[in-house]
Amino acid sequence: MIGKLSRFVETAIGRLARSLHRLGVKPNHVTVMSFCCSLAAALSFVLVAEHSLKGISAGILLLLSGLFDATDGIMARLYGEESNFGAFLDSVLDRVSEIVVYWALIYSNLVEWSVGLAALSASLMVSYARARGEQLGAKMKGVGIAERPDRLLILAAATFLDQLSVGVLLIALLSVITVIQRIIRARSTMADGQRHDRE
């Protein structure tokens, strides 16, 4: 959903990208900054004892992670610094971030383990559906109601509102819907008769 509004926010994020680039920051550095914010959010869920402070710190760190995650790609395009390794690094660290954050929620008993595991599994499947679909020729960008920025915003909002169980359950449900949407898109766009190895 948020991806479809990227034209409206890209200008603001572009300013941040230019400011960071003037300081010598590269897209891969921003990718790592996003990852570090996710790790810090996970640590906040686990280590911060005071409940309201836990919500504020983790929520802000999740938002910062999402902001940097949106910035690295824009910076790479603005300055012609796109690379296969950069895309690979971004994808891998995004997945590790999701794993760490959801396991922190489960470990801290902030959500039921079954709900947290469902949200994590469905979120990873959203990413896999895009990666595999695009590998086979289907355009997946912007497809689905719960891309990673959407999930981060839902989780941050749930953290601020102290409604983590509701937020994580919502992420699980919307992620399942997104996977189904991407399967439908793949089926409608892939050329009939074109064969690929199955995993």
Choose the catalytic residue: 69, 72, 90, 94.
94
- Find out whether 13 and 68 touch, Cβ atoms under 8 Å: no
Can you read off the two tokens belonging to residue 9?
């926010």
Q: How many CA atoms lie within 13 A of 84 on its CB side?
A: 0
Burial 93-127 (b: 16+ CB within 10 A, else e): bbbebbebbbbbbbebebbeeebbbbbbebbbebb
Is 197 labeled as catalytic in the residue annotation? Answer: no
Distance CA 106, CA 84 (A): 33
Catalytic residues, which ones?
94
